Amino acid sequence: MEDLVSAFGLLARIDVLVALLIGSIGGVIIGAIPGVGAAVAIAILLPATFSLEPLVGLTMLLGIYGSSMYGGSIPAILINTPGTAVNALTTYDGYPMTKAGEARRAISLAYSASFFGGVFGILCLILLSPVLAWIAPQFGSREIFLAALLGIILVVLAHRGQIFAAGMLACFGIFLNTIGLEPIKYTQRFTFGQSWLSSGIDLIVVVLGLFALSQAFVLMVDKDDSPRAQPLKGSLFSGMKELFGHKRVATVASSFGVLMGMIPGVGEFTAQFMSYTYAQKTSKKPELFGKGSPEGLIASESANNAVPAAAMIPLLALGIPGEALTAMMLSVFYVHNVIPGPQLFQNDMDFVLALYIAMLVLNVLVLIFLLFSTNLLTKIIQIPTRFLGIVIMILSFVGVYSLRNSIVDCAIAAGFGVFGLVLKRLNLPVVPIILGMVLGGIMETKLRSSMARVKTPLDFIDRPIAAILFAIIVLVIILHIRTLVIEHRNRQPETDHDLHDTQMR
Partner 1 sequence: MLVQIKTLKQLFQRHRRPGNLFFATFFLILSLFLLSQIGNQTVWKSSTKFYAQPALWPIVSLVGMALFALLNWISAWVSPKIAGRWLEIQFWLRSFEYVLWFMAYVYVVPLLGYLPSTVLFAVVLALRVGYRTPKMIGFSVLMAVSVVVVFKSFLQVRVPGGQIYEWLPDFMRSFMLTYF
Residues 384-413, interacting with partner 1 (CB under 8 A)? 384, 386-387, 389-391, 393-398, 401-402, 404-405, 407, 410-411
Other CB atoms within a 10 A radius of the CB of residue 382 amount to 12
Q: Contact 210/413 with Cβ under 8 angstroms?
A: no
**3-state class of 189 per DSSP?**
strand
The residues in 72-91 that bind partner 1, with binding defined as CB under 8 A, are: 80, 88, 91
Name residues whose C-beta falls within 8 Å of residue 353's C-beta, 6 or more positions apart in sequence.
3, 4, 6, 7, 126, 129
Q: Is 34 among the residues that bind partner 1 (CB under 8 A)? A: no
Q: How far is the CB of 347 from partner 1 (least distance, A)?
A: 29
- For residue 321, the minimal CB distance to partner 1 (Å) is 18
178 counts as binding partner 1 under rule CB under 8 A? yes
According to the binding rule CB under 8 A, does residue 23 interact with partner 1?
A: no
Complete DSSP assignment for 31-61 = HHSTT--HHHHHHHHHHHHTTS-HHHHHHHH
User: What one-letter code names the amino acid at 1?
Assistant: M
Indicate the DSSP class of residue 284.
Answer: S
303 near partner 1, judged by CB under 8 A: no
Contact residue for partner 1 among 1, 14, 127, 184 (CB under 8 A):
184
Closest CA to 302 of 483, 70, 46, 18: 70
Of positions 221, 364, 376, 468, contacts partner 1 by CB under 8 A: 221
Binding residue for partner 1, selected from 19, 27, 61, 92, defined by CB under 8 A: 92
Q: State how far the Cα of 301 lies from the Cα of 90, in Å rounded to an integer.
A: 7
Find the part of the chain contacting partner 1 (CB under 8 A) among 119-127, 130-138, 240-248, 383-391: 383-391
Cα–Cα distance, 12 to 329 (Å, whole number) = 22
What 3-state DSSP class applies to 149? Answer: helix
Q: DSSP class of residue 86? A: G
Write out the binding residues for partner 1, residues 438-477 only, by CB under 8 A: 440, 443-444, 447-448, 451
Among 144, 428, 430, 435, binds partner 1 (CB under 8 A): 428
What's the min distance (Å) between Cβ of 387 and partner 1? Answer: 7
Minimum Å distance from CB 139 to partner 1? 19
DSSP-H helix ranges across 139-208: 141-157, 163-178, 203-207
Return the residues of window 260-299 that contact partner 1 according to CB under 8 A: 269, 273, 290
Q: Hey, is 342 helix, strand or coil?
A: helix
Distance, in Å, from the CA atom of 457 to the CA atom of 15, rounded to the nearest integer, reads 50
Binding mask 227-256 for partner 1 (x = CB under 8 A): ------------------------------
CA end-to-end span of the chain: 43
Nearer to partner 1, 350 or 409 (CB): 409
Residue 481 binds to partner 1 (criterion: CB under 8 A): no
What stretches of 80-102 show up as alpha helix (H) in DSSP? 88-99
Among 288, 427, 465, 473, binds partner 1 (CB under 8 A): 427
Interactions with partner 1, residue window 124-153 (CB under 8 A) = none
Rank residues 233 and 488 by Cβ distance to partner 1 and give the closer one: 488
Residue 278 host element (H or E): helix 268-282
Phi-psi group of 242: left, alpha or beta (phi > 0 → left; psi -120 to 50 → alpha; rest → beta) = alpha
Q: Which is nearer to partner 1, 17 or 171 (CB)?
A: 171
Instruction: State which of residues 135, 172, 238, 338 lies at the interface with partner 1 (CB under 8 A).
Output: 172
Specify the length of the chain in residues.
Answer: 505
CB of 462: closest distance to partner 1 in angstroms?
A: 17
Q: Which position among 187, 195, 337, 456 is part of the footprint of partner 1 (CB under 8 A)?
A: 187
Give the shortest CB-479-to-partner 1 separation in angstroms: 12
Tell me the helix, strand and coil percentages in the chain, rounded to 5.
75, 0, 25
Number of Cβ within a 10 Å radius of residue 30: 25
Q: What angle do CA 300, 17, 113 make, to 5 degrees?
A: 15
Count of positions on this chain that bind partner 1 (CB under 8 A): 90
> Is the Cβ of residue 363 or residue 396 nearer to partner 1 in the bound state?
396
Out of 134, 164, 237, 244, point to the residue binding partner 1 (CB under 8 A).
164
Q: Which stretch binds partner 1 (CB under 8 A): 120-128, 210-218, 355-363, 368-376?
A: 210-218
- Pick one of 185, 233, 455, 489: the residue that binds partner 1 (CB under 8 A): 185
